[in-house]
Amino acid sequence: MRRTGPLLFVLLAVAAATLTAQDPPEPTRVYAAYYQIGFSDLEEWIGIWNEHTTPLLQEMVDEGMLEGFGAQMHNTGGNYNFRQSMRGGMDTNFDAVWNRLLERLGERSPEAFARTMEMIQVHDDEVWNIDTMETDQATGWKYFYDTMFQVEYADLASFATMFEETFGETLAQARADGLLAGWVTESHNTGGGQYNWKVILLFDEWDDIDDVQARFFAAAPLSHPFWGMFRAHRDELWEALPAGM
């Protein structure tokens, strides 16, 4: 039951609500949940999330159960169109968080909870480790470009090193030039999902996305060894929830 209907309100990641300028002092985890909601229901879904779920998640942050949370949406295709995250430490008990959230949500608005159950078409969730954070904006960015890779587990560390050596300076310069709000890298080695390493690029302006992508491929043409280090790849573009919805 927890992984079908009720999973809905613990939807990330990234993972977005409380990013800091430095790396976490210890490995930090993100619980990311993805939902396919009927496009005609999406505005209602987001309205319920803003009115009922956001205050409950903030309570959990204030109580120390979570480090942060965030949510994004898109309406341009893909398997899912709503994404929520919860961020915690290595000792965060996400099951306990889940149980507390669902209990409080049921008490706060049984009608809203029941309505959201009706709107879910497809759902999935994953847990990721945050390896690096390079951003000083907690909620200022608007677009979230998620680039995922499937890497042999034995090669995860060397893949991360290759990414940093190949693109680190390029991304830092794009940030210095005001084209990039920051980036986050995440990984996992516990199965689940098709991909096990990702970089999330944060943008303030839509028009900056193509400019950064051009710099990205200039740093590593397709003949570069980086492109031979993974078996599968996928990009997704998400937008922070619109104000007023």
pLDDT score of 150: 95
Partner residues linked to 133 by β-bridges = 184
Q: With 70 as the cut, is the pLDDT of residue 2 above it?
A: no
φ, ψ for residue 164, nearest 5 deg: -65, -45
pLDDT score of 242: 62
pLDDT score of 231: 93
Q: With 90 as the cut, is the pLDDT of residue 79 above it?
A: no
Partner residues linked to 235 by β-bridges = 147
- CA distances to 70, 153, 168, 208, 233 from 220, in Å: 32, 23, 12, 19, 16
Pure H helices in the chain: 42-48, 54-63, 94-108, 110-119, 156-176, 208-219
Give, as one character, the DSSP assignment of residue 41.
G
SS3 for 163?
helix
Domain ranges of the chain: 6-128, 130-240
pLDDT score of 192: 62
Cα(212)–Cα(202) distance, integer angstroms: 11
**Are the C-beta atoms of 239 and 82 separated by less than 8 Å?**
no
Q: With 60 as the cut, is the pLDDT of residue 29 above it?
A: yes
pLDDT score of 244: 40
Q: Which fold has domain 130-240?
A: Alpha-Beta Plaits (3.30.70)
Same topology between domain 6-128 and domain 130-240:
yes
Average pLDDT of every residue of the chain: 84
Provide CATH code, domain 6-128: 3.30.70.100
